[in-house]
Structure 1
């Protein structure tokens, strides 16, 4: 589902644009929240606008007080009117507008049925409702609603000219340094991880690992990082590379700053509770490690497990490619720790599991590399790189990642044309 949030100072225009769809039978009003009711359930633009009068009268200094939101599920999703109402209510509640007056319109004039929500961004006291990190929060809420209502995930609109797809390192293919650089120079721009362990879990999907290296420089003890390519068995292969060869962002100091920044941004984050729900649901519906991992990868989540020499699991990390976040299992909750999952899967028949892995080419006995479904980097490891500006701001990446740039441009154009026509009519009357 794609969300588009528009702000303006023209409440009447937003209401009139949507109401015109209703009048032409190309739309209908699905629900109203804290609005003045009518006896017959029908509304005029003026009647709808009256519900916002007290809020606008109290408005202190918010210039763009009109909130016009469009929620656009995938065309494959067949959603009932009741389903749309629930989507609208939960979206508005999570965005902080649940107690505001708002009206929900359903548009029927194009094949992709969608809804528009009109409200105001100031509360009863005239204070502006915070829009801090609005696009990021909207993206996270859309991803959570997709999973809750089992909707198709939003796809990223990509430009082949600027498409950058990361591939696992093949230490036998040559130019290993360049292969590693193409991954590690870009990951901090897109993914959030809070420790070297989580960073290594993400790197492992690309057959890379990094380790701290201590040394002495001019009489002072220094710490740095070494990057290693990995073979198909996850073992180090080839010569290690100093982090300094890949630029400042690949070094320990820059990474530690990234870790701290991510710890702050992921505190009490909605993504955590959402991911816990997905993992818990998957645990309930699977009975062994292999099914669990494969089920999650189909939902855009890689599971990286660390084992000791005897094969016992001692660590587990989840990589959510939809939200671009990395989570240590025990950090999500005790029930998702390696100890808990070891206990859960202890009765799994190991010999049968080994046979299953062999049948699925998960154990490699040939020279030709083959990777299990659950161990492949997810297909969402393709990013939109802005070559004109060198790198994207976080906000612009959020827009491209959730498909905001591909939002129903026809609807936007229609509204602009409608508002332009209204202005021309007002000028004629004068």
Structure 2
């Protein structure tokens, strides 16, 4: 069994998420805890108001919602609703939420059995249950005890038995029309917003676009932009938006612009230690071999780093974004330093190409065919190699002398050094005159 605990600011949000699943026919409310009425007699307002009234006992606590999911192995399909409800009750008791009001939902939209529990951490005496390290302090011991008591697949040992391995839903590109748009976008958002560190909307889109998803604020004159709103759209194979846009507030985690701005500030500190990985990979590729910009992008992708070019309508490169899928960090080129901006990377790649071109141009005069009209034609037979002429020896000797000729370095002596020498000579003359 795998337990996942998420805390939030809104009881409404987690309640609507589960009830919308019920409306869609992919979930069912199978249990309740500490409600004055049995589950069969509970209405939607009664379910919600019980949690809201409890949370209102302490209005100073902003993070008052708790959303827990208990995930079982795919092989445990024989778990009945009653047994899942018993597991939920015992789990809540062991983590210190046994006296709290809570609802239990069974979901059917994944490849493994799992239940969701929604509750609040505000107690009857207005104090709040400490959520700090709740997973380590309470959840882990409770999980192990429940696994042993109910004979469940042990979470630590699931790698030893591939048949019992709990696989997450694979994250792939979204294809419009093949899956419900909202569900497909939500799956991508849940993975990206949780795991990647980005500090701007452009950096977020750098990751989302790789999965055919776009976070769109609209134009500056649009109603969505002026209201600081946000919509999410699916991109087609050409990178153009397709389908109906979905408002950010319609998703469970509500990834609105205000929500993202809070994440931007948190991620700015988290991603700092991972700058060196991208910089080292870039320097290694551009230092050891002369590569073009496209070859550079391919070599970086082998290191798990996607380099995304931002070009203007006329095809001019004006920006680069690095997406490190290993450290899950996103950086604009300028954030790493001047040497890693779009202009610098292009110059570093072009500089190597220019050096190679210069070397070729320098070699051409040495092998150039003589323009003398009296010179032998190209179709003339090749002379005997055993016969060495004095002329060839002289030419070879001249070439060797040219290659090993010592350059006159006097022009490279700084003027200040030459002045010092003159001053010293003058001082010596003055001293001789004194004697």
Q: Could you tell me the TM-score, scaled by structure 2's length?
A: 0.40
Specify the structure having the higher radius of gyration (Cα). Answer: 2
Q: Greater share of helix residues, 1 or 2? A: 2
User: Which one has more relative contact order, counting CA pairs under 8 Å at least 6 apart?
Assistant: 1
Q: Could you tell me the TM-score, scaled by structure 1's length?
A: 0.40
